[in-house]
Amino acid sequence: MKLNKKHLPFYAAAVQTIQYMVAGYLFLGWMGLVSVGTMGALVSLSMAYASSQVSGEMAKSRRLQSYLALIGLMILSPVIVGTATFYHLTI
């Protein structure tokens, strides 16, 4: 099976959605699994879809904004998942 680079954002969105579902379940139980998982899917899949629709010219002109958004997501996602996991741990 050959890896298609155009599908990578959707693979990443699926993995991030699963992380949000686990975090929601640990923090709020079954209701969190559904609500936080839905929120994670909405954000992740909309970002993946938007990134697949950007033309080459626009990508070059907004490269800095793209990198800043990527850094923000890379910081924010582990904070949310890590916080939910931390609250779940018994001391």
- pLDDT tens digits in sequence order for the chain, 91 residues long: 677 777 777 787 788 888 888 888 887 788 888 888 888 888 777 777 776 666 666 666 777 777 777 778 777 777 777 777 777 666 5
How far is residue 34's CA from residue 68's CA, in Å, rounded to a whole number? 29
How far is residue 61's CA from residue 82's CA, in Å, rounded to a whole number? 34
pLDDT given for residue 90 in this prediction: 65
Given a contact cutoff of 8 angstroms between Cβ atoms, the answer to whether 46 and 33 are in contact is no
Given a contact cutoff of 8 angstroms between Cβ atoms, the answer to whether 30 and 17 are in contact is no
Residue 84: Cβ within 10 Å count: 20
Among the listed residues 13, 15, 32, the one whose alpha carbon sits nearest the alpha carbon of residue 84: 32
CA angle at 6 for the pair 8 and 56, rounded to the nearest 5° = 125
